[in-house]
Amino acid sequence: MDDRWNLMQDQPFSRLNARERAFAICNPDSFIELLCPRRKLTSPHLPPMGQTPQFDDGIVVGLGKAGKAPVVVVSQESRFVGGGVGEVHGTKMVMAIRLALRGQEILKSQYRSSEDSGQVALVISFDTGGVRLQEANAGLLAHSEVMDAFQAARGKVPIIGVIGGTVGCFGGMGFVASSVDVLIMSDVGRLGLTGPGVIEEVVGTEEFDAANRALVWRTTGGRHRFITRDADFIVEDTMKAFREKVSEVASWPLEKISSKRIIGTGDMVLEQMRLVELAANDKIQDSWDLWRQFGNEDIEHLWDSDVSEFAAHAQRWPRGRIGDCD
Amino acid sequence: MINFYGRGRDAIDLIVDEGSFQENLCGGERLDPEWAESALVGTARISGETVTVIANDAGFANPRFRMVYAGLMGLEEGLKMAHAVYLTIKADEDKPLAEKRPIILVVDTPGMSPGKVEEIIGIYKSTGAYQLASAEARRSGHPIVAMVIGRAISGGFLCHGLQADRILALSDTFGTMIHVMPLIGIARVTKINIVLLEELAESNPVFAAGVSHFYNLGGVDGIVEAVEDMRPCVEAQIAEIRRLKAGGEHDKVGPWSRLMSGIRRGGRKTSEKVIELMENEFDLALPCWLGGEDNGPTP
């Protein structure tokens, strides 16, 4: 067990599958999967369409420890229908959040809650295009259930999101990821609502050229999201980097974790309004226009520098003080 | 048959007391009338009771963001609606549960704006902010009723509608559209034969467009058959929501209650099994997960 765990730590996070990520983001030998593939709880909707289901429906849910904190882990598998959210997939995610909340109550009431016993945290690894079209309606409803469960967990269970897979996090899961307390991304990870291909198709290539990889990454990639503070941390694309950051954050007091939120209060809406103001009337043509406004100068160098150098030197959105810069 | 596409304003007048709607007045605060005009927010009365109204007015485009037109919701629209909800929560923060004012959502949106600048800034935060605000208002006692009068499509519906306590929809005869993507689009993207999809859609509500499919999945709580029924149905829902919340039954309203309805109505059979198995396995794993020598059960 430990050998496999050790081996995975040095692997690129982006190359591991959902189960490996869930297993290796926890302490060695601590991961217990719920509704594991042996249960064969598959989508009943795919076979009639001639499509092969998967025994976990493209999502791994389990319990583990991250450092001292008991964690509920959710990990989406983008290699199965693009990580799309269907009926089973969606309900597994909703239940994971509800069970984290229940776990927290049980921990506080029935187990010793000394300083170092920690608190239950929820960790979600997003790798999805959002709703699974084959089960579109159920997938859509599941998103609303997830958002409601997030609100129920507010002030009780900290939620840590990670985005480092090859699909990234798009569609409805984009707003789910923006509703977590702390979001950790890698260079590989991308976050958006409407995917580049869809914008190109609906609006046109002149609006967005989805074949332009550099454009796609500088619009939705981890570096840009770090600059706009949608991502709190940018880490190397290794399993170890993600695990260490998750463990670190999970050990923080709840108030400190919650303070990293970007939406979820009236004041935060006012902050976001100021950010939006910067883009009104076609003032922004490219994400780098925004970078410049935040005081970044040698942007190409910043873009090419390695992740730790980038994180150290990037000038980020001065949260809540946009008015001062205008 | 008449329809209400782009007629959010007309629908408001049919639901609230005549002449009572005051646009851009929210929880006592006045909003800039030129700000994101397609996000129509204000205060009105229903049978004399003060309510917040949030609606789409597809007749307005947003001159500051060119991808906002025809009811599409953009960066500013989502934030404006979220702002209206937070002002509502604040206005009633000292009032007891029974006096929290209702929020009426009049839904007619084809979705979120698909644009480059929307992605650069991160439009998911606008829709996310509005959903979290709505969930907070609902959980703090405000009855939220959504009335779907035209289009309730994909991310637009998630943002504006699906966080309500109860969702009503005008029936299919009014051309009401609820879906993620039309069948032809699903066929094209998934490369599944459209004839097969049409066949499957007859017995399975899980992917095809339509009010009745969403009803069977639990996503719509009630179908309204006549225009003049909208007002009494909305009022009846407010009363029912108040009754449930007064009894502390928060899981009998909102998204979780719709999941339960979907199970009862047979549209989400597999979800029931997922819930049951996960709860059982969680209980079995608990001692091992939370236990351990440093952290055993309190004697």
Here the tokens at position A208 are: 């967005």
Scan for tokens 């503070």, then name that residue. A229
| Number of neighbouring beta carbons within 10 Å of residue B7 | 21
Cβ-count burial A286-307 (b if 16+ within 10 Å, e if not): ebbebbebbebeeeeebbebeb
Alpha helices in chain A, H assignment, sequence order: 2-9, 18-25, 87-110, 136-153, 172-177, 196-202, 213-220, 222-227, 239-250, 254-258, 266-277, 287-293, 299-304, 307-313, 322-325
- Contacts with A192 from chain B: Cβ below 8 Å: 119, 122, 124
Question: How many angstroms from the chain centroid is the CA of residue B133?
Answer: 12
pLDDT at residue B2, as a whole number = 87
Shortest Cα–Cα distance, A8 to chain B (Å): 22
* Interface mutation vs chain A, best among B282, B293, B294, B298, most A CBs within 10 Å: B282
Check CB contact under 8 Å for A95 and B278.
yes
Inter-chain CB proximity B298 and A137 less than 8 Å:
no
Q: Which of A176, A263, A283 to mutate to test the interface with B (most CBs of B within 10 A)?
A: A263
- CB-based contact A99 B112, cutoff 8 Å: no
CB nearest to A91's CB, from B124, B132, B271: B271
Residue B276 pLDDT: 98
Integer-rounded Cα radius of gyration of chain A:
20
ipTM of the complex: 0.96
What CA–CA distance (Å, rounded) separates A144 from B136?
Answer: 13
> How confident is the model over B257-262, as a mean pLDDT?
98
Q: Please report the domains of chain A, with CATH numbers, ordered by start residue.
A: 2-191+230-264 (3.90.226.10)
User: Which chain A residues are closer than 8 Å to B75 by Cβ?
Assistant: 276, 279
**A207–B115 C-beta distance less than 8 A:** yes
pLDDT recorded at residue A117: 61
B8-292 CATH, one of 3.90.226.10, 3.30.70.2610, 3.30.360.10, 3.40.640.10: 3.90.226.10
Give CA–CA dist B121/A28, Å, rounded: 39
Task: Tell which of B274, B277, B280, B294 to mutate to test the A interface (max A CBs under 10 Å).
Answer: B274
CB < 8 Å to B298, chain A:
110-112
Q: What is the mean pLDDT of each run of 10 residues along chain A (326 residues)?
A: 89 98 96 97 96 97 96 98 98 98 93 70 98 97 98 97 98 98 97 94 93 96 98 98 98 96 96 95 95 96 96 92 43
User: Sign of dihedral through CA atoms A73, B128, A146, A132?
Assistant: negative
Give the CB-side neighbour count of residue B30, counting CA atoms within 13 A. Answer: 3
pLDDT for residue A118 = 80
Q: Name the pairing type of β-strands B144-153 and B166-170.
A: parallel
Q: How far apart are CA B78 and CA B279, in angstroms?
A: 35
Residue B219 near chain A (CB below 8 Å): yes
Q: What is the pLDDT of residues B167-205, one digit of tens each?
A: 999 999 999 999 999 999 999 999 999 999 999 999 999
For residue range B263-294, list pLDDT tens digits in order.
Answer: 999 999 999 999 999 999 999 999 999 986 44
pLDDT of residue A326: 42
pLDDT value at residue A109: 87
- Tell me if A94 and B259 make a contact (CB, 8 A cut-off): yes
Q: Do A133 and B190 meet the contact criterion of CB atoms below 8 Å apart?
A: yes
